[in-house]
Amino acid sequence: MVDRRATLGMSFSELVMVRIGHGVAALCLLFLLPILPFVAAAAAVSALVRPDGDRPEPSYRPDWAE
């Protein structure tokens, strides 16, 4: 039987750290995936509501400045 660690060139602790990284990534996806549709909807609404950059907003001029 071939030693998997020797084949991969990693020590046992490195393999454990890789598994921990995979677990953390899975937990992040588990918590982030349900939120992503709401973030996408908020970004779409924000893009629709955002004022145009081409037309500057009218500036306020006090009465005494005229």
d(CA 30, CA 20): 15
Q: Are 5 and 12 in contact (CB under 8 A)?
A: yes
pLDDT for residue 24 is more than 70: yes
- Give the closest residue to 8 by CA, choosing from 27, 23, 17, 26: 17
Q: What is the pTM of this model?
A: 0.46
Domain boundaries defined on the chain = 7-47
pLDDT digits (tens, 9 = 90+) for 33-60: 999 999 999 999 988 887 666 666 667 7
Given pLDDT bands bounded at 50, 70 and 90, which one contains residue 5? low
d(CA 27, CA 21): 10
d(CA 7, CA 4): 5
